[in-house]
Amino acid sequence: MERINVERIMELASEGLCDRCLGRLFGRAGTGLSNQERGRSLRISFTLLLEEVVESNVTGKKRERILEILKHLPASHYYEKEEKCKLCEGLMDSLDKMVDLVLKSAKTVEFETFQIGTRVSEEIREREEEIWRKYGLKTPEPIGKEINREVGKRFSEITGAEYSKDKPDVVFILDTEFLSVEMVIAPLFIKGRYRKLKRGIPQTHWPHKACGGRGCPECNFTGKQYPTSVEEIIGEVMKDEAEAVNYKLHGMGREDVDALMLGSGRPFVMELSSPRKRKLDLKALEERINKSAQGMVEVEGLEYSSREDVQRYKSVRGKKTYRVRIRSLQGEIPEEKLKKVLSLLPSSPIRQRTPNRVAHRRADKVRVRRVYRAEVEDVKGEVATLTIVGEGGLYIKELVHGDGGRTIPSIASALSMPLEVLELDVLDVEAEDEKEE
């Protein structure tokens, strides 16, 4: 702490600060001291120095001013009454009350880690900053920071919860002006795999096209294009179990509305916003979802996850296995020629311009993908069943019919006959740690 003369001591002592507010002004002075201990030590030092001055030959207005200051310093022989702190106005005497407020809020939510945040009035912040400027202080600690630390320390001792700097389960925000607490609850992430066993169900909620999700007679005022989705079937149960506000499904890719998702299922992460409960019986949750889905969707392998998994699922390009039933619009399909066409697909990259069917919601660009394996399961006249293993992001329907020349090569162009897709099922999704180009 810089050297302070008597006049400067008198000026600082006359600010009428409590121990904590005074100690914060010199936050880095002295090791192992709390602000309260530091401030008390400073006020005792002020008292000793000013009493020594009073007992010297000082007279007149200076003596009267020092005596007036000493009346408000508890360690002084001249002490009469300590006034309320002119900076915090007694706020720092309410730490226990603040802890009680946080404890009351904490009863309504499950958590293991936390942070404390503080809002102080504009008047207190302005007074604090004015003192910093007045004395040219370089290392003061803001009042909010001390409240965060002291309330957090006591709260942790009582609850056993741990402070987390980066990823707290909940942040308790104290409003010291109105003595209230706001909670910001971190999302809960649960991952697993889902199978979609019924066609006509989208992966995520689709707002009704005609009304934009507002609700109209055409959608029976539901605001939805489809009655339900994989996201809703799984999310509603998870939301109820976790007492969350909302949910969002993040899938490793997506299947078409009319496609099934079979095999081991598609990896997904469900993000539950503001959950009051974080400790769930995931096996029981899995059983409840599967029961309520009534054969439309199944989930398995539920476990706790993180936002990092969400980012990974969005960036990896999984290898997908499909079963696709196709039909010729121009007579019987030549089986041997079809086998030859499929055998050549892995040898050349597939260039696909954004399909017409998704052009309204996807950027118009050319994507290059690969077919790893393509085989004929059977051919019966105009209908054939194929197994195709392709790179994530490969549009299978367009690979079949060519999408008016937007996919090159296509099975239809190689066979020189128009084709259509009757059914498409996803049999397997295998993740690869490879980022999307």
Q: Which of 315, 334, 356 is the last residue of a domain?
A: 315
Q: What's the token pair of residue 324? A: 């696709």
181, pLDDT greater than 50: yes
Between 147 and 316, residue with greater pLDDT: 147
Distances, alpha carbon 283 to alpha carbons 246, 248, 276, 289, 302, in Å:
21, 20, 19, 10, 7
Contact (Cβ atoms closer than 8 angstroms) between residue 382 and residue 327 = yes
Between 216 and 279, residue with greater pLDDT: 279
- Residue 82 in domain: no
Dump pLDDT digits (tens) for 141-158: 999 999 999 999 999 999
- Residue 134 in domain: yes
Instruction: Tell me the three state secondary structure of residue 374.
Output: strand
Closest CA to 242 of 287, 289, 282, 275: 275
Same domain, 239 and 301: yes
- Residue 1 in domain: no
Same domain, 61 and 41: yes
d(CA 320, CA 327): 22
d(CA 326, CA 344): 18
Same domain, 306 and 192: yes
Q: How confident is the model at residue 324 (pLDDT cuts 50, 70, 90)?
A: very high
**Percent of the chain with pLDDT strictly greater than 70:** 96
Same domain, 290 and 335: no
Between 368 and 46, residue with greater pLDDT: 368
Residue 114 DSSP label: E
Between 392 and 326, residue with greater pLDDT: 326
Same domain, 144 and 65: no
d(CA 380, CA 333): 8
Q: Which of 315, 332, 362 is the last residue of a domain?
A: 315
437, pLDDT greater than 50: no
- Residue 382 in domain: yes
Distances, alpha carbon 383 to alpha carbons 262, 325, 341, in Å:
22, 7, 16
Distances, alpha carbon 432 to alpha carbons 194, 214, 345, 373, 395, in Å:
18, 39, 21, 17, 18
Residue 287 DSSP label: H
Q: How confident is the model at residue 272 (pLDDT cuts 50, 70, 90)?
A: very high
What mean pLDDT is predicted for residues 210-222?
84
349, pLDDT greater than 90: yes
Rounded to the nearest 10 degrees, what angle do helices 6-13 and 35-54 cross at? 120
d(CA 150, CA 116): 10
What mean pLDDT is predicted for residues 260-283?
96
Same domain, 426 and 362: yes
- Residue 368 in domain: yes
Same domain, 242 and 274: yes
318, pLDDT greater than 80: no
Question: What is the CB neighbour count within 10 angstroms for residue 63?
Answer: 14
CATH number at residue 114: 3.30.2300.10
Q: Which of 255, 282, 315 is the last residue of a domain?
A: 315
Q: How confident is the model at residue 32 (pLDDT cuts 50, 70, 90)?
A: confident
pTM for the model stands at 0.83
d(CA 371, CA 394): 8
Strand partners, 420: 327
Residue 394 belongs to domain spanning: 319-430
Same domain, 33 and 46: yes
Same domain, 193 and 208: yes
256 is catalytic: yes
Q: What's the token pair of residue 415? A: 């066979």
**How far apart, in Å, do the first and last CA atoms of the chain sit?**
57
Helix, strand, coil shares of the chain, percent, nearest 5, are 35, 25, 40
The number of distinct structural domains making up the chain is 4
- Residue 75 in domain: no
DSSP 397-418: HHHHH-GGGTEES-HHHHHTS-
Same domain, 229 and 285: yes
State the average pLDDT for the chain.
91
Instruction: Tell me the three state secondary structure of residue 2.
Output: coil
What integer pLDDT is reported at residue 119 of this predicted model? 96
What integer pLDDT is reported at residue 432 of this predicted model? 56
- Residue 85 in domain: no
Apex 104 CA angle, 102 and 109, nearest 5: 90
Of 12-21, 42-51, 92-101, which one has max mean pLDDT?
A: 92-101
- Residue 86 in domain: no
Same domain, 155 and 196: no
Q: How confident is the model at residue 57 (pLDDT cuts 50, 70, 90)?
A: confident
Same domain, 389 and 305: no
Catalytic residue among 93, 169, 175, 256: 256
Q: How confident is the model at residue 5 (pLDDT cuts 50, 70, 90)?
A: low
Q: Which residues contact 226 (CB under 8 A, 6 or more apart)?
A: 200, 201, 202, 206, 257
Strand partners, 421: 326
Q: How confident is the model at residue 436 (pLDDT cuts 50, 70, 90)?
A: very low
CATH number at residue 402: 3.30.70.3190
What integer pLDDT is reported at residue 1 of this predicted model? 36
CATH number at residue 310: 3.30.70.2510
Which amino acid, residue 120?
V
Instruction: Tell me the three state secondary structure of residue 29.
Output: coil
